[in-house]
Amino acid sequence: MKACVDIGGTKVAVCLAPDGQVDGQGRPVLGERLSEPTIKEGAENALSEQVLRLLRQACEAEGIGLDDLDAVGVASCGPFLKKDGALAVVNPNICGGLAGPERGLPNDWTAVPLEQPLRAALGGDCQLRIENDCVAALEAERCWGALQDNDSCAYLTWSTGIGVGLCVDGRVLRGKNGNAGHAGHTFVSDRGGDGALCGCGNRGDVESLVAGNALARRIGREAEELLAAAVEGEEQAQAEVDELCRVLGRLIYNLVATLDLEKISLGGAVYWHNRDYLLPRLRQQMDDKFPALVDGFEIATAGLGGQVGDYAALALVSERPAACCR
């Protein structure tokens, strides 16, 4: 039995995947999903304790114990740093100590331990692999989703935060701390104003302008409400969403121009729940860009849809089709 852990800035989800079972589309079968809001109060190890409690709960439901798990894949929002040789999470939407009290998170954490407490609880026989959630989602999309035939591609999540996983010439990019793809913390616009404080401390970076967590602070409307109003035809909301697409479109174009990508697949709660409205508007952003670079480039919705987070974690500990392993 394998376990999948999906750690986001808003929720933590766990599910089990029995070995060797696949559905009609050739995808592994996933068990029932347990999900809770991400813990952001208490001691620094509160998050790892939450993950372990959910894992024990999922195991109990299957009549097994933690020590019966063969492998645990953890797809976590990043970035990471290495603390005493083990990965810790330094995520701007979890760690309140990065941008300070103005950001409004209920803690002063600057990093939360993850690898060390999980390794200690799971024991040495259990395979444990932790990766950035967008790198993991990219691997899952390459195995079972919309990127199966693409060697130069990316996965982008538009959710609480903005994150990217990148693959060039068949090689997934990681970088010196496994943090390649944190393009949400790059700058593409001079707009922003006082409300555009990212949890990382930057003002006016892409995440501070368009991420789900930023909209209420910056323009006074929650992402869900703003998008719903745009879909229903409210002109002011549509103008706001057009501007979000303009900023995110610039980021996507920059990735294409830098890495010569052929396809990007999009997921994340903000995108997924409004994909029919957002996809054509994001595609439109490529129309006025340098044709030599964007011709032949495609923007698509994640093939794994709302389950991309669960499959992401599983992809980390799966024996995958050969195309993903190059």
Q: By CB under 5 A, name the binding residues for Zn ion.
A: 185, 198, 200, 202, 205, 207
Nearest-approach distance from CB 122 to Zn ion, in angstroms: 32
Nearest-approach distance from CB 49 to Zn ion, in angstroms: 27
Alpha carbon distances (Å) from 244 to 108, 198, 285: 30, 15, 11
Nearest-approach distance from CB 205 to Zn ion, in angstroms: 4
Nearest-approach distance from CB 184 to Zn ion, in angstroms: 6
For residues 200 and 227, which CB has a smaller minimum distance to Zn ion in the complex? Answer: 200
For residues 198 and 304, which CB has a smaller minimum distance to Zn ion in the complex? Answer: 198
8 Å CB contact between 257 and 152: no
Nearest-approach distance from CB 179 to Zn ion, in angstroms: 12
Nearest-approach distance from CB 59 to Zn ion, in angstroms: 36
Spatial separation of the C-alpha atoms in residues 109 and 39, rounded to whole Å = 12
For residues 121 and 252, which CB has a smaller minimum distance to Zn ion in the complex? Answer: 252
For residues 160 and 202, which CB has a smaller minimum distance to Zn ion in the complex? Answer: 202
- Determine the residue with CB nearest Zn ion: 198
Chain Cα centroid distance, residue 45: 21
Give me the sign of the Cα torsion angle 92, 15, 264, 321: positive
Nearest-approach distance from CB 48 to Zn ion, in angstroms: 24
Spatial separation of the C-alpha atoms in residues 49 and 280, rounded to whole Å = 41
- Classify each residue of 75-88 as buried b or exposed e, where b means 16 or more C-beta atoms within 10 Å of its C-beta: bbbbbbeeeeebbb
Q: Are strands 34-37 and 127-132 parallel, antiparallel or unpaired?
A: unpaired
8 Å CB contact between 158 and 268: yes
Helices (H), the chain: 46-61, 115-122, 133-144, 206-210, 215-219, 223-231, 235-259, 269-272, 275-284, 291-294, 308-316
For residues 17 and 198, which CB has a smaller minimum distance to Zn ion in the complex? Answer: 198
For residues 50 and 93, which CB has a smaller minimum distance to Zn ion in the complex? Answer: 93
For residues 40 and 185, which CB has a smaller minimum distance to Zn ion in the complex? Answer: 185
For residues 186 and 238, which CB has a smaller minimum distance to Zn ion in the complex? Answer: 186
Q: What is the DSSP string of 246-291?
A: HHHHHHHHHHHHHH--SEEEEESHHHHTTHHHHHHHHHHTTTTS-H
3-state secondary structure of 31: coil
Nearest-approach distance from CB 115 to Zn ion, in angstroms: 23
For residues 186 and 301, which CB has a smaller minimum distance to Zn ion in the complex? Answer: 186
Spatial separation of the C-alpha atoms in residues 200 and 195, rounded to whole Å = 14
Chain Cα centroid distance, residue 171: 19
Nearest-approach distance from CB 145 to Zn ion, in angstroms: 27
